[in-house]
Amino acid sequence: MTLEIQFRIKNDSNFQKYIREHSYWYKILNRNPEFFKRFEEEVKEKYQLRPIDRFNKAIESIELLSSVFSALK
């Protein structure tokens, strides 16, 4: 694994947690560092860090507040 990838994993707690839970990524990244982008996408999907996931969370929160306020009326 290249030093750059090691630093990127070390500096991001989500990357660290995910690579510990899915250790097969150590072997993949050691053999082919170009797969880091795929690793990054998989982490974002798992921990719902993509922009669409954030948008969905905001919509769900608004809907929850709306239903609470309508129940109080």
What pLDDT sits at residue 61? Answer: 92
Helices marked H in 1-73: 3-10, 13-21, 24-31, 36-46, 51-72
- Name the token pair of 53: 């996931």
Grouping H, G, I as helix, E, B as strand and the rest as coil, residue 33 is: helix
Question: Which residues touch 33 (CB under 8 Å, ≥6 apart)?
Answer: 1, 2, 5
What pLDDT sits at residue 38? Answer: 97
pTM above 0.85, yes or no: no
What pLDDT sits at residue 64? Answer: 92
Domain boundaries, the chain: 3-72
What pLDDT sits at residue 17? Answer: 97
What pLDDT sits at residue 72? Answer: 87
Distance, CA of 57 to CA of 40 (rounded, Å): 21
Divide the 73 residues of the chain into consecutive groups of 10 and give the mean pLDDT of each group: 95 97 96 96 93 89 91 85
